[in-house]
Structure 1
Amino acid sequence: AQGDQQAFLEGPAIYLTVRRSHIYEDAFDKLRTENEPDVRPRFRVQMINNIGLEEVGIDGGGVFREFLSELIKTAFDPNRGFFMITTDNKLYPNPSVAKIVDDFQRHYYFIGRMLGKAIYENLLVELPLAEFFLSKLAGKHSDVDVHQLASLDPELHRNLLSLKAYEGNVDDLELDFTVVSNELGETEVVELKPNGANIAVNSLNRMEYIRLMADYKLNRQIKQQCAAFRRGLANVVTVEWLYMFSNKEFQVLISGAEIPVDINDLRKHARYGGDYDPDHRTIKLFWNVVESLDDIQKRQLLKFVTSCSRPPLLGFKDLDPPFCIQNAGDTDRLPSASTCMNLLKLPAFNSRELLKEKLLYAIQSGS
């Protein structure tokens, strides 16, 4: 670990000072392309706390990881306005963003770059992206077709399939080649093709209508957002390399694998701090308790300590920094964690029951 830290501290670096309360704004300002054309070198980050003081802590890699995790979390937060969530809680670019932010393409480029940086640094982030958006990023073609519509708007997808199979008189449905867009409370009628408002949908042209409607929803209305995001991603990781991955594999690259948490593997690669070692009574009790947890509880523990509930794809040997348990002393306290260091601060409990009770309380309340 000492060698890893030494390697982190050497070589070219990008120095950043960011306010915790304005992490997105400060990072966007400092990491714009004209300031930092290449974001692959190590970041050395100094955080400023909410009362304007520099936070103590030498950045040996941990502060950087916390910074990047928090930055990505806030960038993709639907409340910020750049992304929205589908009915099954997956993220995709906001079609109405131009009404909120003037230079929105620069922001998507920046966010794409930061996701690229996370992939480049092997930093897992919980970021469930919509299937059709993954296709646009990892696929050779940025446009996707009607089959992907279910991942954005399952109801519209069902309606279009019903129209395709409709055996009655399509003219009776009184459809035309327009779509009603309701953006930020403003209703707007958009033509799917030139003069679309004056072209009725009938049994002969309904397939064209289905194709154009899906194209509008999946491609046209977020074309600029996706193109900028993809350019940002390609600034850090080679896009041709991403073509090797299916959507599912690309999501694993970002967020880790949807596989059971292998406690034996976690234990094998764990480190210990303070007076803890593998033979310490509290550590033996800890692993005994963890082995008895169900899969959901194991994921809660992982999220509590590392901020991501999924293990790295190839196992915990790739978790950086390694999972570490440190003696937190007083058994009146709850276990706590420092996610930027993947560090669990575990009081020296002597009783299995007490350890399990306090650990579960901590990981389930997120304290």
Structure 2
Amino acid sequence: MKRAGGPCVEASPNKRQRYGGCGGSGWRDLCFAAILQASNMQRSARRGLAYVWLHFVYEPLIYRRRVQAAHEFLAGRSRSQLISDVEDAVNSAEAKPFRAVLRDDFWHQQDSPVETRDTLMQRRLLLRAELELQLQRQQWKESASGRGFVAISCNFRLRVDPKQRHYFGKVPLEVKRGSAFDSTVEAILAAKPSHLLSGVHVRFHESGGFAEAGVDSGGLTREFFELAIKELSADVSPPSRPTRQQRQQPKFRRSVSVEGIGQPMFCPQADGSLMLVPSSRPPAVYFALGRLVGVALVHASYGDSALPLPLSDCLLKCMVGAPITSADVRKRDPVYYKNRIEAVLSVQGRHMVTAALMEEKLLFVEGGRELKPGGAAEEVTDANVMEYVALLSEDYICGDVRTEISEFLAGFHDIVPRKLLQQVGLSWVQLGNLLSGVDHIDIEAWRRYSQVRAAGVAEEEAYSVANIFWDTLEHWPAVERSAVLAFASGCSRLPACGFALLDPPFTVEVTPCSGKLPTSHTCFNTITLPAYAQEML
């Protein structure tokens, strides 16, 4: 295969002879291609066997017992020892509402550190190695009770190299279109951490319940993350806080009757990033969401881009344990920062804010919540006004979602412990880049690191169609470019490693023109174009 990007005249007979002629180097290339083809066939066979094992043997005969136990527990009928660790984790997180760490120099304006791609790639490889060790620790921990030995031996025997990504140890997810997250909540809660560390294996179902044809080799997983996060993102203002009566409802119910099903759990901020919002969903659902993002990071360690929208800087800092500053409040809501934070620090600001709030005194209270113990009896003065605005900023970020953040972090750290992130040295900026990739799509880089495959047409014709494809993309807006990338790879954002390290490389396959529309193979980052004439495009 040749790199796309050069003019078609470069595909000369001399070059074709050099790559595939009858000389000595040609025979070596043919032997290498045969070995590569055999290796690819072996990987394809393993993927097929993993698909059959996960969805037709393991899921109905073994894993469904855990999911059914989760069903019974969610419905409040009975408690099962199979998922008792989940209940303990949810209860523990709910008993400890989250409080963000504040910098000592809260007003220090610090720009986000600029990370080079080489540094990010080093962190990604370190994270991947640490996650492999974490997987082994979880497996040995589960094997101590005698339940994980078969899974360990099977997993290590069948996984030949890291690119196999533990196919036989993944969690099978039966995903319904239109409710990608809600249809998999119970399966995510029922899964063991070691299985989630191996990743997920997705099979989509149509609205009628019929399973779609397609074996997940990475593309369906990327599409699942894309659909799940978008379905959980609110397009309007965040919903109101659930009432006291709603909060006293059972924490676990079946997904078909769960309180708040379909309600958003994320809300876009002023900068376009996502932050958790309160809802009437049970706390365990936020625990499952944290687990889902943890699995997304596992897939991102292999170079995949999982989340279609970036997470808020404040949420990313909470995930790695980094302190927040006044700059985080300004970035999240510039209007609030100007009207409440800057206003109270201005000359006569305390009196103006007190009058605007129609209060007699300005106390350490916000929205009926004390900003610190005894805050309802402490008045804001010139001596403690800096402490007041720092606590007010922390309350604005976390006050309405302390329980939700606590559950989310408990689920995330159940898969990726905070200590592991600190050992790797992963900053909150690097974590965000790995999870969400980059939104800017450089057509020149896309073209330079892509391949062109002629399937039933002349090589010159294939390169001609590919050049028309790239020229067309250059004139399209960013939204349509992202749509093309999502159509071909399953994800609308580019992985943090860029097109240069995309695995497998992006490929433009050209077939004879038969009146068909373009198709794609998302698992292999391939778009198939009929050999259209330029005027048809």
Q: What's the TM-score once normalised by structure 2's chain length?
A: 0.55
> In 2, distance between residues paired with 1:225 and 1:136?
12
SS of residue paired to 2:181:
helix
Aligned with residue 211 of structure 1, among 359, 366, 390: 390
Partner Cα separation in structure 2 for residue 236 and residue 349 of structure 1: 47
Deviation for aligned residue 1:32: 1.6
The answer on whether the counterparts of 1:113 and 1:229 sit within 8 Å (CA) in structure 2 is no
Task: Find the residue that maps to 1:345 and give its secondary structure.
Answer: strand
**Deviation of the 1:210 alpha carbon:** 0.6
* Structure 1 residues without counterparts, runs of 5 or longer: 181-188, 356-367
Identity of aligned residues (%): 21
- Name the counterpart of 1:123: 304
Residue 51 (1) aligns with residue 193 (2): no
SS of 1:110 mapped into structure 2: helix
Unaligned runs of 5+ in 2: 1-39, 51-157, 160-167, 236-261, 355-361
Alpha-carbon deviations, 1:331-356, whole Å to 9, x = none? 655434454543323121122x433x
CA RMSD of superposed structures (Å):
3.4
* 1:150 and 2:330 matched: yes
AA aligned opposite 2:187: K
Kindly state the Cα deviation for residue 320 of structure 1 after the two structures are TM-superposed: 3.5
Distance in 2 separating the partners of 1:340 and 1:74: 22
Stretch of structure 1 that moved more, 300-309 or 24-33: 300-309
Which residue is equivalent to 2:432?
Answer: 251
DSSP-derived class of the 2:180 partner: helix
Structure-1 residue corresponding to 2:120: none
The Cα offsets for residues 67-97 of structure 1, whole Å up to 9 and x where unpaired, read as 3433344345566321112123210111x23
SS at match of 2:196: coil
Q: Which residue of 2 aligns with 1:178?
A: 365
- 1:342 equivalent in structure 2: 525
In structure 2, the partner of 1:359 is none
Which 4+ runs in 1 deviate beyond 6 A?
Answer: none
Give the equivalent residue in structure 2 for 1:311: 494
5 Å-filtered alignment, 1:153-164, equals 153-163=333-343
Mapped to 2, the partners of 1:238 and 1:266 lie a distance apart of 38
Instruction: State the shift of 1:24 in Å.
Output: 1.7
Measure the CA separation in 2 of the matches of 1:54 and 1:22.
Answer: 15
Please give the TM-score of this superposition, normalised by the length of structure 1.
Answer: 0.77
In structure 2, distance between residues paired with 1:162 and 1:61: 48
Instruction: Please give the alpha-carbon distance, in whole angstroms, between the structure 1 residues aligned to 2:469 and 2:206.
Output: 36
Deviation at 1:156, TM superposition (A): 1.9
* Whole-angstrom CA distance in 2 between matches of 1:54 and 1:303: 21
Q: Write the distance in 2 (CA, Å) between the matches of 1:73 and 1:3.
A: 35
CA distance in 1, matches of 2:187, 2:450: 36
2:318 to 133, 136, 153: 136
Equivalent-residue separation in structure 1 for 2:274 and 2:350 (angstroms)? 34
1:62-141 → structure 2 map (5 Å cutoff) = 62-76=219-233, 80-94=263-277, 96-97=278-279, 99-124=280-305, 125-138=307-320, 140-141=321-322
Q: Answer yes or no: is the 8 Å Cα contact 2:234–2:266 preserved in 1.
A: yes
Partner of 1:325: 508
- The DSSP-based 3-state class of the residue aligned with 1:219 is helix
Deviation at 1:209, TM superposition (A): 1.7
Q: Which whole-Å deviations, capped at 9, do the CAs of 1:126-185 have from their partners, x for residues lacking one?
A: 2221221222223x34x52333211322222223442354222734542333223xxxxx
Q: Deviations over 1:293-325 (max 9, x none)?
A: 157365554344224444333332532443233
Structure number with greater Rg is 2
How far off its partner does 1:56 sit? 1.8
Q: Shift of residue 46 of structure 1?
A: 2.9
Aligned to 2:176: 19
Counterpart residue type for residue 63 of structure 1? L
- Is contact 1:169-1:203 (8 Å) kept? no
In the alignment, is the contact (CA less than 8 A) between 2:288 and 2:411 conserved in 1? no
The one-letter code sitting in structure 2 at the alignment partner of 1:272 is R
Higher helix share: 2
Tell me if the contact between 2:202 and 2:224 (Cα under 8 Å) persists in the aligned partners.
yes
Deviations 1:35-59, CA, capped at 9 Å, x for gaps: 5653122544332221121222233
